[in-house]
């Protein structure tokens, strides 16, 4: 009588035929992987899930229709199929377009993404999807070159500039004193150029008062300017203002306090002179006032 031994389960389908020696009387074929054999061997063909089997805890491996490995285990007399892989797994998502925040959720454990590769900093920073399913920085690159420095002097409007320099602050002398201005480096077409934002004095500088020909124009320049009418002066004191006109409002002490081209002169003005310049008078006709007048007027006034 031939004694059958229970063979160790193999992980891949196979067929074995063993021929007994001719001298062995009554020889029979040892059981192989024929699907009809139920002695603990793996069937040649992949069994149907739930079909009967005899040897519990026997496991067999096969390839599914997509050539993915799949296991079958005999449990309580029935084949149970292990986890099955999809035939068409979708491609993993691409790396996030923006640098992911550390600790934010990621899509595949072990995936790595590289970020940042400017000309001045060739090495990228690498983030990796960790086992906890979140992004973390695994290769940190420090590459923070200082931005281009602002020019010491105020640049000319429209002059070339270095991209990325941003806005620079300067001080510009005006008729109202030193005023802050800014110069911004902006991209115009395919070139970076300065845009200088000048600040104009408001109210206007005092020298503009001398350009007003009428009282209305003088009043339109604001409190910086005043319309003056000659007053009644006697022969012993200061002379009368030589002519009606528009003058700086602030009284002067010296010529240095006057706009270029004018001189400081004490004159007598009519305190009742109308802003319209019509020469109207009132009860008072004379008021001493230090006024910045043109040199010709100062000479006529006896300076």
What is the distance between the alpha carbons of residues 206 and 275, in angstroms, rounded to a whole number? 17
- Are 76 and 97 part of one and the same domain? no
User: Who has greater pLDDT, 94 or 133?
Assistant: 133
- Are 246 and 296 part of one and the same domain? yes
| End-of-domain residue from the set 169, 185, 202 | 202
Beta strands in 45-93 (DSSP E): 59-63, 69-75, 78-81
* Confidence (pTM): 0.32
The pLDDT value given to residue 299: 55
Q: pLDDT, tens digit, for every residue of 47-94?
A: 888 898 887 788 898 887 777 888 999 988 898 888 877 766 555 567
Reduce the DSSP state of residue 298 to 3 states and report it.
helix
- Are 211 and 291 part of one and the same domain? yes
- Are 210 and 292 part of one and the same domain? yes
| End-of-domain residue from the set 202, 217, 241 | 202
Count how many Cα atoms sit within 13 Å of the Cα of residue 179 in the half-sphere of its side chain: 15
DSSP string covering 189-228, please?
Answer: TTEEEEEEE----SSPPGGGGGG--SHHHHHHT-TTEEEE
User: Who has greater pLDDT, 265 or 34?
Assistant: 265
- Are 221 and 248 part of one and the same domain? yes
**Within a 10 A sphere around the Cβ of 62, how many other Cβ atoms?**
19
- Are 182 and 231 part of one and the same domain? no
User: Who has greater pLDDT, 296 or 245?
Assistant: 245
Q: Over range 200-210, report the average pLDDT.
A: 70
The model's confidence at residue 141, banded by pLDDT at 50, 70 and 90, is: low
Which long-range contacts (C-beta less than 8 Å, at least 24 apart) are formed by 49-55?
49/79, 49/80, 49/81, 50/78, 50/79, 50/80, 51/78, 51/79, 52/77, 52/78, 52/79, 53/77, 53/78, 53/79, 55/6
DSSP 296: H
The whole domain housing 34 covers 1-89
- Are 172 and 138 part of one and the same domain? no
The pLDDT value given to residue 144: 58
Beta partners for residue 19, in sequence order: none
The pLDDT value given to residue 175: 54
Number of domains in the chain: 4
- Are 225 and 275 part of one and the same domain? yes
What is the distance between the alpha carbons of residues 3 and 227, in angstroms, rounded to a whole number? 135
Token representation of residue 227: 């319309």
Q: pLDDT, tens digit, for every residue of 219-265?
A: 877 777 889 988 887 777 788 888 898 888 888 888 888 888 888 88
| End-of-domain residue from the set 70, 89, 108 | 89
Q: Is the pLDDT of residue 46 over 70?
A: yes
- Are 105 and 176 part of one and the same domain? no
- DSSP H helical ranges for the chain: 215-220, 295-300
Q: Is the pLDDT of residue 178 over 50?
A: yes
- Are 68 and 8 part of one and the same domain? yes
DSSP 7: P
The model's confidence at residue 114, banded by pLDDT at 50, 70 and 90, is: confident
- Are 211 and 190 part of one and the same domain? no
DSSP 244: -
Percent of the chain, pLDDT > 70? 69
- Are 221 and 183 part of one and the same domain? no
């Amino acid at each position: 009588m031939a004694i059958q031994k229970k063979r160790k389960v193999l992980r891949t389908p196979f067929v074995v035929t063993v021929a007994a020696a001719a001298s062995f009387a009554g020889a029979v074929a040892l059981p192989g992987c024929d699907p009809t054999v139920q002695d603990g061997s793996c069937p040649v063909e992949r069994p149907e899930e739930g079909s009967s089997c005899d040897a519990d805890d026997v496991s067999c491996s096969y390839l599914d229709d997509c050539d993915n490995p799949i296991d079958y285990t005999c449990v309580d007399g029935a084949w149970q199929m292990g986890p099955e892989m999809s035939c068409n797994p979708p491609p993993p998502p691409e790396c996030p377009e923006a640098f992911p925040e550390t600790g934010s959720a990621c899509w595949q454990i072990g995936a790595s993404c590289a970020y940042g590769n400017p000309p001045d900093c060739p090495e990228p920073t690498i983030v990796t999807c960790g086992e906890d399913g979140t992004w973390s920085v695994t290769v940190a690159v420090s590459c923070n070159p200082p931005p281009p420095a602002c020019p010491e002097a105020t640049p000319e409007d429209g002059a070339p500039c270095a991209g990325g320099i941003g806005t620079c602050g300067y001080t510009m002398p005006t008729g109202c004193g030193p005023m802050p201005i800014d110069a911004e480096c902006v991209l115009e077409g395919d070139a970076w150029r300065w845009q200088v934002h000048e600040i104009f004095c408001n109210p206007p500088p005092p020298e503009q008062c001398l350009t007003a020909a009428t009282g209305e124009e003088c009043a339109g320049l604001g409190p910086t300017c005043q319309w003056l009418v000659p007053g009644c002066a006697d022969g012993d004191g200061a002379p009368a203002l030589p002519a009606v006109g528009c003058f700086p409002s602030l009284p002067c002490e010296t010529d240095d306090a006057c706009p270029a081209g004018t001189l400081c002169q004490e004159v007598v003005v009519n305190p009742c002179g109308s802003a319209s310049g019509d020469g109207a008078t009132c009860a008072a006709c004379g008021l001493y006032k230090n006024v910045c007048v043109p040199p010709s007027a100062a000479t006529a006034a006896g300076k």
